[in-house]
Amino acid sequence: MKKWGFLLTIVVCIIFVVVTRAPIFQEKLDIQIYDKNSKYKLDYKASDSEKKLKITNEQIYQGNLLLVNNHYPVHQEYIKSDIVNLFNHKELTKGYGLFNNNIKLSEDIAHKFSEMIAAAKKDWISHFLITSGYRDFDEQSRLYNKMSPDYALPAGHSEHNLGLSLDVGSTQMKMDKAPEGKWLEKNAWKYGFILRYPKDKTNITGIQYEPWHIRYVGLPHSAIMQEENLTLEEYLDYLKKEKNISASVNGKKYTVSYYPVSQSITINVPVNHYYEISGNNMGGVIVTVYE
């Protein structure tokens, strides 16, 4: 009896460990594409109403979905306005280290990154280090002059000039081999981040594989890009082609609409639903409604 009691205790302990280490985030993704020939309509309740919203050309150059590369530069007046020095904000750096005392980032993105790092810690992954964040144009110019064009872009043409991107390392080893790099590649999308320059898409991004460079785009965009294996370039083309799509992520429903903007236009947005608007930096805007 003692032997059976001992074995039962071991089984209970194993079950406890497995359950407590199971990820909280449930990976449920269902993407639906609306029929292009039908009138697009969000799944509103009868009591919901819409309001008209004016979209101007300036909106094209603002938001979390901007494409920034050699062809599409950052517009300085629309850089994230909440850039902070993380070294001076210890509350934002819990669970990870900083390469030096001059790492800057959007405060909003820093909060989102901290949430992701807290989730990684539950999976026993905890040796993260931010090596670079926001760079102003002068810093980017100095870096570009030192490095190969394959690994650095001219001032104004780097995502680091936006405040939405950061380079993440491991204190243990290089990111392409580190548990931290593997965890981010598998899980970053759940928290709105993407691996911006994947190994098999260098012909599309124009940048060599960078397992350390992540970019915030937000949900559901990161989930759709993960599911469809799309880079940001491919995703923006996908939205431009489809015009309207819907997605369900972890039980939450989203609708995403693309609008070309050659001059000021007026669109309808729901009154009783939260929505976000982002430009693509190429002549259009994306409206994301959270149902």
CB 192 within 8 A of CB 290: no
Lookup result for tokens 């901007």: 66
- Residue 113: name the closest of 135, 136, 137, 89 by CA: 89
CA distance 224 to 216: 14
Asked whether 62 and 74 are in contact (CB, 8 A), the reply is no
Separation CA 256–CA 170 (nearest Å): 35
Q: What φ, ψ does residue 161 adopt, rounded to 5°?
A: -80, -5
Tokens representing 21? 């280490």
Our answer to whether residue 210 is catalytic in this structure is yes
- Backbone torsions φ then ψ of 190, nearest 5 degrees: -65, -20
Identify whether the C-beta of residue 254 lies closer than 8 Å to the C-beta of residue 31. no
Cβ-based neighbour number of residue 274 at 10 Å? 9
Q: Which is catalytic among the residues 77, 107, 180, 210?
A: 210
- The structure tokens listed for 88 are 């001076």
Count how many residues are written for the chain. 291
Peptide bond into 220 cis (omega under 30): yes
Q: No. of H helices and E strands in the chain?
A: 7, 14
Alpha-carbon Rg for the chain, nearest whole angstrom, is 21
Catalytically active residues are 210
